[in-house]
Chains A and B, each alone.
Chain A
Amino acid sequence: MFTMKHSYSLLFVALLVVSGCSDFLSETPDNRTQLDTKQKIAELLVTAYPEGNYSMFCEAMSDNVEDNPTGTKNARNADPYFWRDATSTDQDSPENYWNACYAAIAATNHALEHIRSVPDSADYNDQKGEALVARAYAHFMLVNLFARSYDAGTARYNPGIPYVTDPEKVSFKTYTRGTVQSVYDNIERDLLAGLPLLNDDAYTKGDATGVARYHFTRAAAHAFAVRYYLFRRDYEKVIEHADQVFRNNDFVSNMRPWNSTYRTYSSTELRANYTKATEKANLLLCETSSTWASSFTGLEFSTGATRYNEMFAQSPAGGRYAFSTLYSSAGLYFIYKFREHFVRLGMNANTGYPFTIMPLLTAEEVLLSRAEAYAMLNRFHEGMADLNLWASTRIVDYNAGAHLLTYNKLYNYYQLPSTRDLIVTCALDFRRLEFLHEGMRWFDIRRHRIPVVHTTVAGDTLTLRADDPRRELQIPREAVSMGGLEPNPR
């Protein structure tokens, strides 16, 4: 009998010990960190920007490139040229960018969840603002690659992409795509809620050790808003936000000095400086896990002589463009914008992870977007003024007398009937040059439904029509099979 009693008392002791164990077993198994200070929330938000790179596939899908048979062959470059569904899932593939965007979103959601749980939430407004705007940005990029372009008429019916606002906590979770409209509405809600909370000083002052250009400053957030409303075709708002990017609307001193300082740079200096935080035009920078910096100068489907001439040979303003282009033996033309940052696996290793610093939002984009918005609102003079502002820093030995853009010059150059079309077309051409190798052209092709023709050396001609379903990247395989999403039609 006593054994039974002992068993009970042992059980009781055991229960006591079990509860005592909970402290013992709560010891963290390694050097992981806890989100216990405001500073750590701020540091978590350092990763709230997509560390993937869309340039390789966006460039290859666009009309910036052509077939250069001696260039390096690579599925991540070839698949998008033929608008095929990607076979690679490595860095620089659409799936990699998808994953990077959602990883950034997860960082914002973990930060926001923590902020919601602290008693003094208001104290975290700086971080809350950044998280909301960053969440909006990553979703915006996804919806504009994997879903139909925004069109007020159809956005309500076209499937979007999952808008994620809570951390995932189970091993498998399914999602729904929503509609383009709902995604856009969510983006706007986050953007407008976050923007007023942003505080540029939070990144650099006090105990913060950040670099503001790698975060959503107010200027960067307004620049993002400019892009958002431009894509949404809400032109009043484009102008409203564009005017808030720089104090006194001073674009000139904030743009890349292509026809002055940049002209003096050697190619190694240009690639060292183009993506630096000290470069005022870079409103938002991001380090991306990408081979783009080492590959954009040699891939088979990249800018060759034909495309180069199409873009750079002539300017509607007259004169010569100041962009310093290099030429490779494979017949490729390129502007040396990027330098690879190679993080080796070990101190003496040959293998490692390549990084490319990308400018995500720039002063030039804001300026040219505003030009387009003015034109769409029939404020042509102001539109022309923005175009001229751009040209004044891009034409060699710029001379307003000789190089000033006029309606007449534009008409002669483009032969288009409407003034609005002239300005918009010119703005799009300027954007194409300005953002060469940066993937922006693809977004312009999508939203303006510009047809693209790709030819091959073998003589094939492929056309991407204005309504081609291949304008939407295919939803990644596992997002369909495991995530429960509807794939895009093919």
Chain B
Amino acid sequence: MSIHSNDDQDFLRDALPAFISESVELLDQLEQLLLELEDRPTDRELLDALFRCAHTIKGSAGLFGLLEIVAFTHHVETFLDALREGKTHLTGKTSAVLLQSGDQIRRLIMLVDPGRRDTDAAPDIADQRDTLIAALVAALPASALQSTSTQHADDAVAATTAAPAGAHRIALHYKTDTFRDGFDPLGILDYLGTLGTIESVSLGVDRLPAFDAFNPEDCHLDLSLVLRGSSTTAEVEAAFEMVREDCEISVSAIPDREAADARDFPAVAAQDTQSDMSDTPAPVSATSATTSATAAAAPSAIDRRAAGERRQGDDARYVRVRADRLDDVINLLGELVIAGAGTGLLAQKIGDSELIESSHQLGRLIEEIRNGTLQMRMVQIGETFGRFRRVVHDLAAELGKQVHLEIAGAETELDKSVVERITDPLMHLVRNAMDHGIETCEMRLAAGKPAAGTLRIAASHDAGGILISISDDGRGIDRERVLHRARERGLVSPGVTPNDGDLLALIFEPGFSTAEQVTNLSGRGVGMDVVRRNVESLRGRIDLSSIQGKGTTIEVRLPLTLAIIDGFLVSVGSSKFIFPLDAVVEVIENRPTATAVDAHGCSVVELRGQVLPVMSLRALYSIESLEPERSSVVVIQSGGRRYGVMVDGLLGQHQTVIKPLGRMFRSLRGMSGSSILGNGEVALIFDVTSLCQLAEHPPPHHTAPPVKPLSNALNLKQGATQ
């Protein structure tokens, strides 16, 4: 058996990271639910979900023998149970205690993380625990304490959370599937052995059928015992956390003198095995206490399988995949897309209709695989937004402000890697808005605004990308002070007054980030320049608008994914370009080119009676080639505006694998990347937003003598304009 227990130890060690990451996710969820609960304190679904979170963490921790976590989480769970049973109500104070309790569980979990053992494990962690437990118990009315046990026969102990330690009489009535579920009663004995001395173990065999009718894999046993030790009833009950679905449990504290006589304690009378255990909410099925860290006994692969099943959670079943493996697949997929396009071109060239048909079929399948694979990387931005709830909650308390947080478009999906890299910049923007945007209640009331400020975080899809906006109804940006500061820092020459857009853009200059309390957006850790740099490194863009006294809105535009997009391929001369298909509204094909363009390559055309501004790529990028007699206009939508782009040829939809531009071309304006076409040619991918800006504010040097398109484009470097 020692072999098995070694196996178990190995298994536990291997499974610990999964436990930690799962628990951290559950804690995040717990936090979100708690914050939502503040708005809807009696929402039964929320309360149930909260209870499930705490219950699952407790169950998993028990599986790993992490008694500290089990014992503490038990108090949280008990309180949540009382909440959902309506025995107590959520107040601002208890809500704060629950949030802090979540933090406490998180700290306890971090302590068992082998990778983070060296964390500043606060020496006062025990004090915090005791304070929180006291607060949780105090918040629980006496009636709730008593009735918990009557409501849940199997939960008898929860009632006596605060009961003194001593002897406990435990009766276990196992269900038929116990063994099949991977549970062995020996395991629970081992586990209990860590809590105290086991006495008077007795096996009940009354339910054993006749040998002929006996199925050896069914369990027909009952077990009763007396546990003597210093454990509280809560700790004893926690030991059974993971076996609740496999047996009916009765735990009762017994007076010491009675314990001495407990030898006669009979095996528990057979109860109705079908009795409703559905009140046990967590999916903690089929796990064995053998897997406690101290377990020395029973076995086996079944435990492992069961533990694996349990981890899959209740709401949806997930497969955890390492992100880098997925990245590898996506990289390969990129190559596949290019190779597929190459095959398609070759088929066209050969002109064999069957081959063409076959390559079309291949192309369709590749597209489906591409969509499916990219979908795997898509996560909802709401998870990130959710974290802001806590920040806003805590910061509002800290700053003595009242802030109402509105979240919209939380279900908007974007690439996981984008989400990961945008979280910190967004967090900074939220903090800024809280810290410097929204005023104190007094100031707001004095300004004739409602006492509580509103912070709105919204996400939506926009022109093939995602638009995240963070707006507050605070004091807005004081342009005078910004200008004053900018002059002080030498960012604006004396006597020059920049236009409003440029003035606001100064906020993003590095000099501003370190300003202490001077502007309304002074830095907090990272500066606004870092925020902008982070956004731009994601091929995104950040815009700021502000009305003094009314509020500030910051809009962050990001591409949906960093890997592959649906593109629309066009040609100008011999050069090929790609627009993100989502940004293309329509095309006007084959119209006479004879439109006069100005020096910047800009012009207007009439589209259904409306004037549409258009730009000539040939002029804008000084592409050397003869202008054809007829050309087409691609109508692009960007940030609520429409404009047209004149091109020579429309080559159709194209699956575009985005390759980053090399360092030399990274600052190329209007472009977001490059792609390799099937025939090996390189096409540049437009960033429609910056292309639009480029057309509005063309670089001064763009009339430089034309050279090859790419090298000429170097003249369009952003640096050259400023």
Report if A and B associate in a common complex.
no
Which residues of B are in contact with A by a Cβ distance under 8 Å?
none
